[in-house]
Amino acid sequence: MLVFRYEDQMVVVDAGLMFPDEELLGIDIMVPDISFLIENASQVKAILLTHGHEDHIGGLPFILPALMHVPVYGTRYTLGLVRSKLEEHGLLQQAKLVTVQPRQVEQIGEFRVEFIHVTHSIVDAVMMAITTPVGTILHTGDFKIDSSPLDGQVMDLPTIAEYGSRGVLALFSDSTNSERPGFTPSETTVIERLDEIFHHARKKVVVCCFTSSIHRIQIVLDLAEKYNRKVVLAGRSMLANTKTASDLGFLRVPEGILIRPQDARKLPPERTAMLMTGSQGEPMAALPRLAVGDYKNIVIEPGDSVVISARVIPGNEKTISRMINHIYKREAHVYYDDGSLPPVHVSGHASAEELKLMLNLVRPKFFVPIHGEYRQLFRHAELAKSVHAVKKKVVIAESGDRIQFTADDAEIVGKVPVGRIFIDEGSLDEVEEVVVRDRRHLAEDGIVLPVLAIDKATGKLEGQVEIITRGFVFVDDDDSLMNDSKARVLRTLEESTFEEVTDWAMIKEKIRTDLRRYLFKQTSKRPLVLPVILEI
């Protein structure tokens, strides 16, 4: 989230969420702390969305209730995703959503905002030119320069160039891939590889990708049609997002190609394909559960082809690697981003040469690298210096920094309070109340640590399940809630496959989810549940 302020008017660009590091186990998602916006609520004139990825729109349901008067601007597909999100949280009625399209100009108070089409891994993405009395700011959002995008809609470089030649005060540009040399390959390079995989497949083809990768999903649907396969969509968000995209005309679903999992079992495997969630090895998503034999109506069988057509989000390497091991043990072929060409996945972010191209087109007075860790910001700054594209200054800012721009200068002049708000989300199966958790009040709900020793060779529990608590309702060890909780943990173990029980990350997550749900039902409290597994 980025806020632009001129005198007493503010516009907000994006409102994303983050998934926590493993170290923060016990919470589901994190959204920005917006106390600064709430304090200045009357000054907030608009929320402008660049595109529909979770790290750009996912915070809206938690942020909007405090800013209900603020209109939200976005393109058709972006707002399509926002709509289903707000509906789920019962916020759609009150929200003011304003659909915009590329080249459209909106005057919002002192801000003149032009939306400019960019290519990215999601459809209908835009960047913004925000003209203020001090000068024009270009904010790229996420982008790559794809010269052969699947939908033929190339990036609007002429408009960017036009702004560049008229003079830009500051460029805020995507640093995600600033460490990668060269150009990011076009989305269409993936077709070649996937076609090859479909061509050689003698059994089922399973493709796992992000559910917002509509281009990627289109490629798979087209190939399924070409090779005469029916398609199963697996995973709740895969179903929801493809429906949104197809309703809005961004996805062409061939007539009659979609079938249900239970119907796929009646077809020969070489007539079926599956599109599913779980590319990051998330324990509750479709592919990771398939990999350990715990998914209804779908089984990975010897000779199947499984394609992980997504990037590895840093921190998920080991989990994904374990998932791949599990799939190989089922004697399927697994295709993933291992450096072989053509690739099964291409990034949606610009590499070094594209970033230089953007910098050279814009030639701003000031440059602020955004999106990425400090290392990526620093490298992006170095790229800018190497091409001498920045007329005055590069400013590397961190979360919360206030940069003050005048026509001639840019300085970090202080910090606003920032932070991350932790959220316990309802589970997939039941609609639970979403809890915005303030860790300061953790003591109110307490901590529950189920401790169990599992024999890695047999997958069997050794000894008892122990439950350690602090600040939670348990009084002493013979409490029936305590005993029932132990029984609940035992049941989770019994309901899990051998592969799940011996995969510590996965079984911890299952125990955590089940026990947390159980305790909430019994006590209406949400203690932090941190399973501890001892390997013996």
Name the residues annotated as catalytic: 174, 349
Phi-psi region of 281 (alpha: psi -120 to 50; beta: other; left: phi over 0): left
> Token pair 């060890």 is at which residue?
477
**Sole binder of a second copy in the list 42, 148, 165, 321 (CB under 8 A):** 321
CA distance 408 to 298: 62
- Determine the straight-line distance between the first and last CA of the chain, rounded to whole angstroms: 45
Sheet holding 29-32, edge to edge: 29-32, 420-424, 435-437
- Give me the least distance between CB of 263 and a second copy, in Å please: 31
How does DSSP assign 248-289, residue by residue?
Answer: TTSS---TT-EE-HHHHTTS-GGGEEEEES-TT--TTSHHHH
**Among positions 311, 393, 439, 460, the unique one binding a second copy when judged by CB under 8 A:** 439
Q: Is 18 helix (H, G, I), strand (E, B) or coil?
A: strand
Cβ atoms within 10 Å, residue 69: 10
User: Residue 148 or residue 340: which is nearer to a second copy going by CB?
Assistant: 340
Contact with a second copy (CB under 8 A): which of 90, 254, 315, 414?
315
One of 89, 236, 363, 420 touching a second copy (CB under 8 A) = 420
Closest CA to 193 of 164, 156, 220, 215: 220
Nearest distance from C-beta of residue 324 to a second copy, angstroms: 5
Q: Using CB under 8 A, which of 107, 457, 476, 478 touches a second copy?
A: 457
- Shortest spacing between CB 58 and a second copy, in angstroms: 19
Token readout for 458 is 């047999």
Q: Interface with a second copy by CB under 8 A: which range of 140-148, 165-173, 243-251, 339-347?
A: 339-347
Candidates 92-100, 281-289, 292-300, 501-509; binding stretch for a second copy (CB under 8 A): 501-509
Residue in 400, 481, 490, 497 binding a second copy, rule: CB under 8 A = 400
Query: Based on CB atoms, which residue is closest to a second copy, 456 or 521?
Result: 456
Among 447, 461, 481, 490, binds a second copy (CB under 8 A): 447
Peptide bond into 158 cis (omega under 30): no
Residue 18 touches a second copy, criterion: CB under 8 A = no
Q: Which pairs count as long-range contacts for 381-386, CB under 8 Å and 24+ apart, including other chains? A: 383/178, 383/352, 383/355, 383/356, 383/359, 384/359, 386/356
Per CB under 8 A, which region of 70-78, 237-245, 446-454, 484-492 contacts a second copy? 446-454
The residue range among 90-98, 256-264, 332-340, 489-497 that interacts with a second copy, by the rule CB under 8 A, is 332-340
Tell me how far CA of residue 178 lies from CA of 218, 263, 301, 384, in angstroms.
28, 46, 40, 10
For tokens 């992000």, the residue is 210
Nearest to 206, CA basis, from 187, 192, 188, 220: 220
Q: Per-residue x/- mask for a second copy, residues 116 to 155, rule CB under 8 A? A: ----------------------------------------
Binds a second copy by CB under 8 A, chosen from 162, 247, 328, 425: 328
Number of residues located near a second copy, criterion CB under 8 A: 57
The neighbour count for residue 406, using CB atoms within 10 Å, is 10
Min dist CB 534 to a second copy, Å, is 5
Quick one: 45 or 380, whose CB is closer to a second copy?
A: 380
**406 lies in the binding site for a second copy (CB under 8 A):** no
| Strand-strand pairing, 111-118 and 420-424 | unpaired
In whole angstroms, the minimum distance from the beta carbon of 26 to a second copy comes to 9
Q: Is 339 in the site for a second copy (CB under 8 A)?
A: yes
Q: Which residues contact 71 (CB under 8 A, 6 or more apart)?
A: 46, 47, 96, 97, 98
Stretch that binds a second copy, among 121-129, 158-166, 405-413, 441-449 (CB under 8 A): 441-449
Q: How far apart are CA 83 and CA 89, in angstroms?
A: 10
DSSP string, 285-299: SHHHHHHTT--TT--
Instruction: State yes or no: residue 419 binds a second copy (CB under 8 A).
Output: yes
If binding is defined by CB under 8 A, does position 318 make contact with a second copy?
yes
Q: Indicate which single residue of 108, 442, 481, 490 sits in contact with a second copy (rule: CB under 8 A).
A: 442
Contact footprint for a second copy (CB under 8 A): 21-24, 179-181, 314-315, 317-318, 321, 324-325, 328-329, 334, 338-341, 373-375, 378, 400, 417-420, 422, 438-440, 442-443, 447, 449, 451, 453, 456-457, 462-463, 466, 468, 470, 504-505, 508, 528, 530, 532-536
